[in-house]
Structure 1
């Protein structure tokens, strides 16, 4: 006989000093909200602001139309990945909803939920994906994986052609929208 317990999916976060974190989070309903330039600018500002507030190094990133990959390494001994994610995602959500309310109310239907307490959602429910990284080789592999996302999806031919990515920072030294913290990146 089945029990009547309701199970909720939980994302376990491990805040281990010195560990890098691969973070992935998606737009609500897998919608391509990040194909809008204005929204990407909100996200750029939010990541920079969060980095300053929570003191983490940013080693790689890519904004895909419907999700984001970040490779970060907190520099403080005590930190909370949940707080970092909240400080990145929440301002973007609020700005996007406010923009639509004031400029394009019909667009709110794409963010609409059936929940009374939260009528709109920009990001997919839950914290997204968080993986602690301890091996230098894995960090190098992740930089490559993150940068090649737009290539794998057929959006560009080479990773440095995708604007909202750190690929050009890594490949030819052209700075993308968010500066990369090369000085704290591990060496082999």
Structure 2
């Protein structure tokens, strides 16, 4: 899982619907180019998460860093805030087990609910949640949610 936040959690990504959509498009383009599979993602006004399967983590982190630089420049010009620090950094977390993987999918999809943007996963337009539910079905999605609840996210990843 890769996570990046805007500096000081300022909602720079969320300045507009177009910016959120652009961030989603660019993140998925980079993720798909340098990964075997993109499993889940969520773009929020001040951070994003993407869960990928890759053997090119260094190249992926480098590409994200370059994109962060380009997007910072573009958004600072757009917002007339030259020199503003947009991104803090990208943090990488390797999946340790099937449990960790399942909980991470739930965590990513639940993020817009956790932060109060929507009440249901599928309501947030900048996430893989609606596609995940369509692909795997409501029954499987509920089974995954019950098997790996996010209220215990991080407690037993290595077991």
Instruction: Verify same fold: TM over 0.5.
Output: yes
Q: Is the 8 A contact 2:13 2:20 kept in 1?
A: yes
Q: Does 1:168 align with 2:127?
A: no
Match of 2:73? 97
Give the alignment's TM-score, normalised by structure 1: 0.62
The answer for the alignment partner of 2:31 in structure 1 is 51
1:120 CA drift (Å): 3.4
Matched, 1:73 2:53: yes
Aligned partners of 2:50, 2:35: CA distance in 1, in Å? Answer: 15
What is the SS of the residue equivalent to 2:53? strand
Q: Which secondary structure state, in structure 1, belongs to the residue aligned with residue 126 of structure 2?
A: coil
The equivalences for 1:133-148 within 5 A come to 133-148=95-110
Q: Does the C-alpha gap of structure 1 residues 99 and 122 become closer, same or farther in structure 2, counting only changes over 3 Å? A: closer
What RMSD, in angstroms, separates the aligned Cα atoms of the two structures? Answer: 2.4
Q: Is 1:86 paired with 2:62?
A: yes
Secondary structure (helix, strand or coil) at the match of 2:27 reads: helix
Shift of 1:99: 5.0
Deviation at 1:165, TM superposition (A): 0.6
TM-score normalized with structure 2 length: 0.72
- Please give the alpha-carbon distance, in whole angstroms, between the structure 2 residues aligned to 1:100 and 1:25: 18
The higher radius of gyration belongs to 1
- Runs of 4+ with deviation above 3 angstroms: none
Partners of 2:42 and 2:50 within 8 A in 1: yes
Number of positions where the alignment pairs a residue of Structure 1 with one of Structure 2? 135
Deviation at 1:151, TM superposition (A): 0.9
Q: 2:9 aligns with which of 5, 26, 30?
A: 30
CA distance in 2, matches of 1:55, 1:166: 16
| Corresponding residue SS for 1:32 | coil
Local SS of the residue matching 2:127: coil
Does 1:62 find its partner at 2:42? yes
Contact 1:61–1:166 under 8 Å retained in 2 = yes
Higher helix share: 2
Match of 2:120 in 1: 158
Who is 2:87 aligned against?
A: 123
Report the Cα distance in structure 1 between the residues aligned to 2:67 and 2:112, rounded to whole angstroms.
25
Match of 1:42 among 17, 22, 43: 22
The corresponding residue for 1:6 is none
SS in 2 for 1:128: strand
